[in-house]
Structure formats: structure tokens, C-alpha cells
Amino acid sequence: MGWIEPLKEPFRAYGRMQDRSPYMTQLSTTLVIYFLGDLSAQKVASDEPYDPSRGLRALIIGGISSIPNYKWFMFLGNHFNYKSHVRSIATKIVINQTFFTPCFNTYFFGMQSLLSGQTLEQTKQRVIDTVPVSWKNSWKLWPAVTAFSFTFVPPQNRSVFAGVIAIGWQTYLSWLNMKAQEEEDAKATVSAAKAPVTAPSTALPAA
């Protein structure tokens, strides 16, 4: 199995970086993940030219959340560890899906809306339109990722493993956000078209 050793070296190097500077490693990794996720979403979901402002919003959102996310998963790894491995994994999955996922998705879509200049009412509607469906779809992916990670992946490599998966997930979230934005723009256009047009007054000015 000597051929596999070179493949392990990038993970070992990442683990060493994680040990030396965990916060900076998490921040830089998260920025790469969010950039690639948004880039992929823009290229896959739209024929429009790349929008740098949308990419910048993704980087801001990822940068702010990187350390809290890291802290959360460290907490999850250090708690709910029972004698039964199955019980431990099941508990971590349920807690993560029940608390972290809806909170994070609310943050993600809310920030996307606010940073794009939407009002609080529009942001509320964006969250209503996107969080339930994204939370529902997260059950199709993240429980399996969490179970595999806490079963087979060493602690120092769990973040990079999840990060690789997260590129695809961020692509989906960015795509979902783009679709919600397009639907909101379409509704606004229809509302503007239906608005009554007030004819200019033809009354003569009083003498």
C-alpha cells in the first residue's frame, strides 16, 4: 500500500497547519470553500457573466461564520460520546440537524439578502422561502457526512473532509439563494406592472 502514502501527505500537511494555527487555517479554508461554491453556482445556474459582488458577499458570509462553525464542530466532537458508537453518532446527527443547520441556513440566506441591499421585510421573506427547503434537503446529505466523518476521519482532518463536501453544498445554497432572488425580482416586476398609473391632473390653476 506504499502507493497511497503520497496521497496522505496533503492531509498530513493540513493537519500540521491546523495544529499550529487552527483559526487561521479554518478561515483560509472557509474562504476557499465559499469562493468555489459561489463560483460553481454562478457558472452552473446562470448564463450571466460572473458577478464579483455576489462572490464578495459569499466571502464575507464565510469569513464571519468560519470560527463559530469550527467551534461548534469541536464542541460536537468532544461531547455526546457514549459507550455505544451508534448512539453517539445518532445523537450528534440529531443535535447538528436540529440546532446548527437551521440556524446556519437562516444566517446564510439572511446575510445574502441584507448584503445585497434588501430590506428587513424582504430578508424575512427570503429566509421563509429558502430555509425550510434547504433544511429538508440537508437531511439527504449531512447525516451521512457526519456519520462517516466521526467514524473514519481523524479529528484533525474532519474539517478538510467536510470542506470538500461543503463545496458542493455551498454551490447548492448559492443556487437556491439565486433562485429566490430571481423569484423576488419577478414578483416585484409583476407588482410594478399592475400598479395603477395616475393620470396627470388637467385642472386649471385657480385664478
pLDDT in 10s for each residue of the chain, 207 residues: 566 667 677 777 877 888 889 899 989 989 998 898 888 888 876 678 889 998 999 999 999 999 998 899 889 989 999 999 999 999 999 999 999 999 999 999 999 999 999 999 999 999 999 999 999 999 999 999 999 988 888 776 777 778 778 888 878 888 888 888 878 778 777 776 776 656 555 555 554
Q: In Å, what is the CA distance from 147 to each residue of 87, 163, 196?
A: 11, 15, 56
Residue 178 covered by a domain: yes
Angle at 189 between CA 196 and CA 61, to 5 degrees: 140
pLDDT at 61: 94
Distance of CA 34 to the CA centre of its chain: 8
Return the ∠ at Cα 131 (arms to 44 and 114), rounded to 5°.
Answer: 80
The amino acid occupying position 165 is I
pLDDT of residue 57: 94
Q: Is residue 198 situated within a structural domain?
A: no
Residue 177 belongs to some domain of the structure: yes
- Structural domain contains residue 103: yes
Segments forming the whole domain that contains residue 79? 14-182
**How does the average pLDDT of the chain come out, rounded?**
85
CA atoms of 105 and 110, how far apart (whole Å): 8
Classify residue 157: in a domain, yes or no.
yes
Residue 189 inside a domain? The answer is no
Q: Does 190 reside within a domain?
A: no
Query: Exposed/middle/buried for 91, CB within 10 Å: 0-12, 13-18, 19+?
Result: middle
Question: Is residue 86 within a helix (H) or strand (E), and if so which, with residue range?
Answer: helix 85-95
pTM: 0.79
Cβ–Cβ under 8 Å, residues 148 and 106: no
Domains contained in the chain, number: 1
Confirm whether 7 is domain-assigned: no
Q: Residue 95's pLDDT is what?
A: 95
